[in-house]
Amino acid sequence: MRVTDVRLRLNIGAQFRALWLLKSRRRISDTGAEAILTARGVPVVDPREILSPAYPRIIEVVDPPPQPSVLQDWKTEVKDTPCHVFNKRFSPLIGMPQVQCLTNSVVQSSLPKSVLDCATKITEEEDKKVKEAIFHAHLLDSFQAKLPKVINMDRPGWNERREYGIPFGRKHKTLTYQLLLLLDQQVPGALERQLVEDTLTQVTLKHSDSLMQINHEAAFIVSSLTPLPQLADNAEIKSLQEETLPDIYPLSPLVNCRAFNTYCLKDSYGVASNNLYPHTIFIHQNQSRMKLSEDQFAGISLLHAFSHAAAYAKATGSIVGSNLEKPVVLQVVHMHRQYFHMGVFQLNTLNLTGTTKNIFWTQPWEPLFSKCCFQAAQPVLEGYNPRVFELLKGLHAQC
């Protein structure tokens, strides 16, 4: 092969900027048309005086949307007492029993009857729109980024080729947003709710003699003008006092969580508005290297629901002693890849070692589909499960 020099090579960007600079200095030459028309008695006017814009600008004053809380400006300080900090990287070692002891919660193995009654059968039109949302989020998005490095355990030390595609975080957010738009169209009165994206919630509590802090992110928080109704009445809450939590001895509920001496004691709920009540939080498990079982997945859902409910209760000041004057009810939708886990949580107390217990209604996770990919240049969806959207309708219809 002969080595040759590349000559007369121009950078397109630099060439465009140079041409733009040259042309921008040009002045519009006077053709003399105005003088000729004036001499012949033809009036010449500015077109802006007689023409109106095709689309007049309308300024409408509306109420600003709710803003998420900001935690970045908070300064941490060195404390004498260590604090166990739970964040998105925490994974319960033994799954749901550990989170139950951590949050003092009783788990019910089914969603509330009010949710199941509203989970009506999906129509053909809804089925078509849900499939279009799946294709749009997983296949038809033009956004491309370098995907996480693939580690092949069968070939240790081998560097796999880095692929470009749609990150899981973007797939999750796009699909959740498309489903929320569809749910708002199907559920009456849902358009009055407020939606806040990428929120941060921080709450500090005491568990036995230890201090713990929960820092959680939510991809979306749906807030309503009215609170969700209380699912378990006072008699049922009192009857659950005799129910015992799972015994995980000799492990501590704080196992697998690091303790830090540098932290901030301030509390904050994800939505900075006291006029809105929590309705549903959507969380996404975007960490590809965290291999979670179904029990651990459900435990993380419970921990997120507890942290957001506790932060809201402390922000509104509805706590009498260690118990709540009125329980806080919120719903949680946990999504990872094609799996959806849904639950309803009722916060009754912030005393994590007392007799009064919180309640979490849950059920096994549901896969939305089994496979979504291109085959022979055609988008293919296999194993589609319409039950997921039916349950989402049941949760969204609660008011």
Least confident range from 62-71, 204-213, 337-346: namely 62-71
Q: Which structure tokens are listed for 330?
A: 């919120």
Please answer whether residues 279 and 228 qualify as being in contact, where contact means their C-beta atoms are separated by less than 8 angstroms.
Answer: yes
Share of the chain above pLDDT 90, in %: 58
Residues whose CB is less than 8 angstroms from the CB of residue 193 and which lie 6 or more positions away in sequence, other chains included: 184, 222, 223, 224, 225, 279
Please answer whether residues 278 and 302 qualify as being in contact, where contact means their C-beta atoms are separated by less than 8 angstroms.
Answer: no
pTM of the predicted model over 0.95? no
pLDDT in tens, 298-349: 999 999 999 999 999 999 877 766 789 899 999 999 999 899 999 999 999 9
How much is the pLDDT for 201?
A: 94
The domain spans of the chain are 92-396
Is residue 348 left, alpha or beta, with left meaning phi > 0 and alpha meaning psi from -120 to 50?
A: alpha
Q: How confident is the model at residue 61 (pLDDT cuts 50, 70, 90)?
A: very low
Neighbours of 83 (CB within 10 A): 18
Neighbours of 383 (CB within 10 A): 11
pLDDT in tens, 250-266: 899 999 898 999 888 88
Average pLDDT over every residue of 343-368: 95
Among residues 316, 278, 287, 270, the alpha carbon closest in space to that of 169 is found at 287
Least confident range from 40-44, 103-107, 327-331: namely 40-44
Mean pLDDT of the chain: 88
